[in-house]
Structure 1
Amino acid sequence: MIVEEGTPASDTVLKIEAHPELGFNFPYYLRIPKGVNRKSASYLLVETNNSGNNDTFAHHERETYKEIIRNSLGSSLCEGLKVPFLMPVFPRPAKEWEIYTHAYDKDAAHIKKGPMKRLDLQLIAMCAHAKGVLQWYGISVAEKILMNGFSASGTFANRFTAIHPERVAGVACGGINGIVILPIDKRNGNTLDYPIGISDLKKIFGKEFDLKVYRTVPQFIYMGALDDNDAVTFDDAYSNAERELVFGQLSSKMLPDRFSGCQAIYTENNVNATFKTYPHIGHGTDRLIYNEVLAFFTNIIGTGQ
């Protein structure tokens, strides 16, 4: 079922209901901005929802609608880039607080059955479905997607890109606690399991980590120097074992130590990533960040990666 809102003079916002038979167990929203290029292939911009707390599904659905309209960086990028914008309505259950679906943590990735199993594949199925919906509107999109995210949704984008680099044309993520998934399986004799590293990606997701392809994906990774929101210290985001590993292999100090350590590892492995710290801001974004993320995606669209 498709519910359309807005007027012909404004953006079109569609709510697509869940289609388990097509591979997605939750609804998603699709925004088509006024002025979208209908003559040549565009990109689909994807940002996963992030309500910031555990709550009912109705709550997450309301928050997702707000995010796709105005309460996310992706909503502004949708307007600036003039590309379609998809956001899933993934749950973050009130009772199962340790499963941090919106960041796609280890608990979420290890779900073996039920509607929340393999949210990464559900997102891929949503993108495939959205491509058909957009074709009905006379809009064609590239096979690869643009991914954006901030805080938990930025972490989801970073981890999704490591799992499925062949599907991402470019990814921008900010406010991600000074840590990214490391493109290595061991460090200093320590095995780095997901989401710290990639040693068990095949076991969890059924596919080997493809460093060669991962290196080709442009990444823009940023933090605010005044950001004190460190999810590594939260029990819903990281276990004690994961926390000790992060602190031991990188640092307990988020900025600049941990973030710089991640940058060094990406550089050592020739990952095409730009790391940036904004000295004037904390856990948030502003016009400067928007302009630089916009320029990052604009360059990708222009080069047709």
Structure 2
Amino acid sequence: MWNFGYFKTIIAFAMLFCFLHSCQIKTDGELQYHKPQPEKGYNFPYLIFLPTNMPTDKELTMIVAPNNTGQVTDEFKKHIEKARRQATKPFYPGNYIASKLNLPLLVPIFPRSRKESRVYTHSLDRDVMLKKASPLKRIDLQLLAMHENALDTLRKRGFNLKEKFLMVGFSASGSFANRFSLIHPGKLLAVAAGGLNGILMLPEDTLRNQGLVYPLGTADFDSLFNKPFNKQAFKSLPQFLYMGELDDNDAAPYSDAYSEKERQLIFKLLGKKMLPDRWNRCRGIYKSNGVNAVIRTYKNTAHENPEAVKNEILKFFRKTITD
């Protein structure tokens, strides 16, 4: 189980690791490491990537890309290493779009522990959102606190930044982005998420008379987040959601991603077959609710982000920030 002694140890190691290895990253910009500041609301470090020649005479929008290590590990350095790649390599949508649009990119470094392997931090699952006496408590709010700190840091350097931000995620971090968009739609300017297991969090309390609690729906939203679900804000939020038609990376059957109860509801209400059944069912529910979402299925595409897809996200974000 998580304890604060262990938490302090991994953070101390993280700071040392970043310091010792800071000169080894080659980027087309500046990479900043920001240490945890529990007194400001976040218990884990985060990275900011600033593309070369980012302007100071224009209003800018921060891009936030939730980290996704792709494995459970208690070696915090592995979470740092993957977050650094996400922040600095154009292979990843966050860096690709930030570099093309000359916008700052924030990547949090949330751990995904082997000791608590069913707490799927990087997908913002139910287990992590139920955490109370833990450094992982309300990591959604911790991410908002990181963003506020990043705004303050960059404004002091002369950059003019909007309060709202863009969010982009893929696979587990795509689920994070989708779920975050229902929890905090008013904080976002737009969201892009892909590789979503054919499952979208639904803006409904029930489906076919079955209650939908988080992360399937909003039935327990008030009690979990201490506020009502702002359906109108979510419906008006520009969204770009996508799957590849050859994607076979389905998290639904696995216990780290969903509980048995959640899994049975997914299969019963949305479909056991990820593509096209489950995905099309979610698409129809979003459409019937009037959600402002572009929902795509890319032909000849697996669980990946080819350049053509990244360019569509780029076009979508560019239009959003200029409208």
> Which band: TM-score by shorter chain?
over 0.9
Structure 2 stretches lacking a partner, 5+ long? 1-14
Q: Does 1:67 align with 2:82?
A: no
The TM-score normalised by the length of structure 1 is: 0.96
Which residue of the partner structure matches residue 47 of structure 1?
65
Where does residue 53 of structure 2 map in the other structure? Answer: 35
Q: Tell me if the contact between 1:225 and 1:280 (Cα under 8 Å) persists in the aligned partners.
A: yes
Q: Which amino acid aligns with 2:31?
A: V
Residue 131 of structure 1 corresponds to which residue in structure 2? 151
Deviation at 1:6, TM superposition (A): 8.9
Answer 1 or 2: which has greater helix percent. Answer: 2
236, 254, 272: which one pairs with 1:216?
Answer: 236
User: Alignment partner for residue 123 of structure 2, among 103, 122, 129?
Assistant: 103
Q: Mark the runs of 5 or more structure 1 residues left unpaired by the alignment.
A: none
Deviations 1:116-145 (A, max 9, x none): 100000000000000011112211211111
Letter in 2 for 1:241: K
CA–CA distance in 1 between the matches of 2:166 and 2:157? 20
- What residue in structure 1 maps to residue 10 of structure 2? none
1:237 aligns to what? 257
Identity, % of aligned positions: 40
Alignment of 1:199-214 (within 5 A): 199-214=219-234
Matched position secondary structure for 2:60: coil
How many residues matched? 303
Q: Does structure 2 retain, via aligned residues, the 8 Å contact 1:6–1:12?
A: no
Q: Deviations over 1:2-30 (max 9, x none)?
A: 977699x9411100000000000000000
Cα distance in 2 for partners of 1:246, 1:149 equals 22
Partners of 1:288 and 1:37 in 2: how far apart?
26
Deviation per CA, 1:165-195: give whole Å up to 9, x if none.
0001000000010111000001111000000
- Write the distance in 1 (CA, Å) between the matches of 2:160 and 2:142: 21
- 1:62 deviation in Å? 1.4
Runs of 4+ displaced beyond 4 Å: 1-7
Name the amino acid aligned to 1:186.
T
Residue 17 of structure 1 is matched in structure 2 by 35
Mapped to 2, the partners of 1:24 and 1:5 lie a distance apart of: 26
| 1:178 and 2:219 are equivalent in the alignment | no
* 1:37 CA displacement: 2.4
Give the alignment's Cα RMSD to 1 decimal: 1.7
Q: Distance in 1 between matches of 2:102 and 2:23?
A: 18
